[in-house]
Chain A
Amino acid sequence: MKLLRAVFIPVLAIGAGLGIGAIIVKMVGESPGEMYRLLFTGAFGSLNGIAYTLFYATPLIFTGLAVAVAFRGGLFNIGAEGQLTLAAFVAAWAGINLSFLPPLILVPTCICVAVAVGAIWAAIPGFLKVRFGVHEVINTIMMNFVAVGLANFLVTGPFRAPGDQIPETTLIGNAAHIPRAGALLSPVGLDMPSYVPLNVSFLMGIVACILIHLFLFRTTWGFEMRAVGLNPKAAEAAGINVAKNIVLAMAISGALAGLVGVNDVMGYEYRYRDGFSPGYGFLGIAVALLGRNHPFGVLCTAILFGALVRGGLTVDMLMERISKDIVYLIQGVIIVAVASAGAGARRWKTRALRERAT
């Protein structure tokens, strides 16, 4: 029953998003059926299509998880965008400057610095909340702009690759590359060209989902964090260190966001490019919400959103009057629907509880 409810509302919201998307496409004078057919075949119709779908899903798994973990700890991390930006930059920095190291040392080093920078950048608003009582929402938003400005300064100034048209760093060393799907799938006899950017970080995303699930629901630490998220006063009374848990939840959240940098820098572009994120941090909020702040919900939603992005590109190419922007439109409607319906469900629940009590 609980599972049914957990699935029912997101499915309803997705239906609303696709439905309103269809109406708008119809108004533009194109065929919604044709669009959704192209969208689906683009995303799942071929092995390459599936690989791209999973590639686009990867950053959303990380940011979705990041927002979900913070949310379980009672915090709203709107700062994943800034955290992943700085993390990506330092990953590239390490990949360029430490490229003399062997891959077995360099790859973990790059991942570690990215994760650490993400964690630290996120822990700051957590600390400010604990120490000064400032709500983390505003601070994370403000720190997004500071982070993006900082990265922009670094990549347009001291670390800009000479001669390039757009602000980007030089390429990271080969030793810092992580394997792509093509290399991983050839031993099992599947043929995938090496330009397909799906890489190991997708598997890291799945592992992260499992680990975060175990952490949240199978460890004392996770239990304490959820207790703080549900009712900080009660948690405090039960002897849980609320301050520690707030900072920790933000740090874990930022660390997860930092892994987006690994996907982009070490598995895809092999450099840091200014403005590489099209708003992964904000889409992560949507992913977490639709996935009901549950790691496996996040995984499914991220893949759905990845499919929308991939399919959207196909539609963009093949249908003259439909641009890939339709995807943002559908995603926006889905979130509006889920935000409204979630609260509606909560109201029915309290009403039912009250009736049972009387």
Chain B
Amino acid sequence: MPAQVPGGGKRELCARGLHKHASYTGISRASTMDRELISSGIRLATPLTLAAIGGLFSERSGIVNIALEGLMLFGAFAAATATLYSGSPWVGVLAAAVAGAVVAHVHGLVCVKFKGDHIVSGVAINILAMGAPPFIAGALFGTTGSTPDVARSLGTWNLGRIGASSTGYSPLVYMSWLAVPFAYVLVFRTRFGLRLRAAGENPWAAEAAGVNIARVRYAAVILSGIFAGLGGAFLSIGYGTSFVRNMTAGRGFLALAALIFGKWTPIGAFAGCLLFGFADAFQMRLQGVAKIPPQFVQMIPYVVTILVLIGVVGRARPPAALGKVYDREQSSGAE
């Protein structure tokens, strides 16, 4: 899990090259450029949105999820591998969700059943994700940690001219948009959501009111794995065509930042993801054109998140019981 700035990855270099190409060959009509910027921002926001929505379920239930990065990597790898073996990218999408869920379940086991530290468990999963996917890829395909290109990636669905794109977007882009209202309804308009939030705010009171905290938190963590896994699938078979070592390049942490930026709400997190996605697209556009170093544009999301936390730009309050090991045998005073 080397702290790599998103946008430093291999695929972005390709995208960067494309941008430069477009501007050098004289496609300078403002409308074309703007449309390109919008669609590129939307694409870059997609893995963040899926992972952030995943993180929302887990964190709202009280389980810290810094494992998003690792869950995305497992998802990306599973998607590419399953697509290679089955020939169908949709099997890949399913595999990404399953892989995310299984690994997230390990996180849940450590945090809920064994009452281990959430952050330690998250770090462990991220380290596992540095090793396991490249290792398995090497063993299966004889490569140095990447998968071969898939024959057929997800492609795009053209649903009219939504979002300034003439070709449409990957189905996972539309799924990420649907994930936002889905999360809103599930967390704020259902009985399960009420229990989930209660588990994150005051598990002792919730348990006393008859909520099975362990079950709610398992469900929340597994949901987070499914969504983060889908975010990874977008990277490997939606936007790209293969799994590459460490291809998330810090996007899991960026998603976490967006979640905090959005004050742990689905709509706020989505806004954060779009903002960060557009910042990234803008930063790529700036390269070779403006004098502002792209690294400073890339830093903006992280600096903004710190400012949000210290209350300079609004105030974000995490769920009260977030990260606290819950043991019903012990009173709330014992942390």
Contacts and interface: CB of A to CB of B under 8 A. Distances in A.
A67 B156 CA distance: 45
A24 to B, nearest CB: 8
Contacts of B124: 286, 332, 335-336, 339
A153 B131 contact: no
B5 interface: yes
A343 B115 contact: yes
Contacts of B5: 145, 148-149, 152
A235 interface: no
A218 interface: no
A328 B2 contact: no
B138 A282 contact: no
A187 interface: no
A157 B330 contact: no
Interface in B281-324: 293, 295-296, 298-299, 302-303, 305-306, 309-311, 318, 323
B132 to A, nearest CB: 5
Contacts of A120: none
Contact of B295 (A152, A285, A332): A152
B201 interface: no
Contact of B4 (A128, A148, A340, A341): A148
Interface in A251-274: none
Contacts of B132: 325, 328-329, 332
A145 B3 contact: yes
Contacts of B142: 321
Interface stretch (A130-138, A193-201, A203-211): A130-138
Contact of A134 (B115, B298, B310): B310
A119 to B, nearest CB: 19
A147 B47 CA distance: 23
Interface residues of B, number: 59
A78 B123 contact: yes
18 contacts: A78-B119, A82-B3, A132-B309, A134-B309, A137-B119, A138-B257, A138-B305, A139-B309, A148-B5, A149-B298, A285-B120, A285-B123, A328-B130, A328-B131, A331-B131, A336-B106, A343-B116, A344-B115
Given A147-B3, A325-B131, 12 more contacts: A142-B306, A143-B302, A146-B299, A286-B123, A289-B120, A322-B138, A325-B132, A326-B131, A329-B132, A339-B110, A340-B109, A342-B116
B260 interface: yes
Leading 4 A-B pairs by shortest Cβ distance: A328-B131, A332-B128, A335-B124, A340-B114
Contacts, number: 176
Residue of A144, A145, A150, A285 with most chain B CB atoms under a 10 A cut-off = A145
Nearest to A346: B115
B66 A281 contact: no
Contacts of B66: 78, 137, 141
Contacts of B303: 142, 146
Contacts of A132: 309-311
B326 to A, nearest CB: 12
A327 interface: yes
A109 interface: no
Interface in A289-341: 289, 321-323, 325-333, 335-336, 339-341
Nearest to B116: A339
A147 B295 CA distance: 10
Given A138-B260, A144-B3, A149 B116 contact: no
A81 interface: yes
Q: Which residue, A147, A322, A323, A341, has most C-beta atoms of chain B within 10 A? A: A323
Of A144, A322, A330, A350, most buried by chain B (CB within 10 Å of CB) is A144
Interface SS majority for chain B? helix
B149 interface: no
Contacts of B250: 145
B267 interface: no
Given A82-B3, A135-B318, A328-B128, A153 B309 contact: no
A156 B134 CA distance: 28
A134 B317 CA distance: 9
Contacts of A346: 115
A283 interface: yes
Given A81-B3, A323-B144, A328-B130, A339 B135 contact: no
A176 to B, nearest CB: 25
Contacts of A78: 66, 119, 123
B275 to A, nearest CB: 15
Contact of A325 (B110, B126, B134): B134
Contacts of A143: 302, 306
A275 B2 contact: yes
Contact of B299 (A76, A81, A150, A323): A150
A27 to B, nearest CB: 8
B33 interface: no
A336 B121 contact: yes
A275 B4 contact: yes
A135 B256 CA distance: 14
Which of A157, A321, A340: most chain B CB closer than 10 A? Answer: A340
B253 A325 contact: no
B127 interface: yes
Given A76-B119, A323-B135, A343-B325, A282 B127 contact: yes
B120 A145 contact: no
B2 A279 contact: yes
A76 B323 CA distance: 12
Given A134-B309, A321-B138, A325-B145, A335 B127 contact: yes
A317 to B, nearest CB: 13
A141 B253 contact: yes
A349 interface: no
B139 A150 contact: no
A149 B114 contact: no
A309 B306 CA distance: 35
B123 A329 contact: no
A37 interface: no
A277 B2 contact: yes
B1 interface: yes
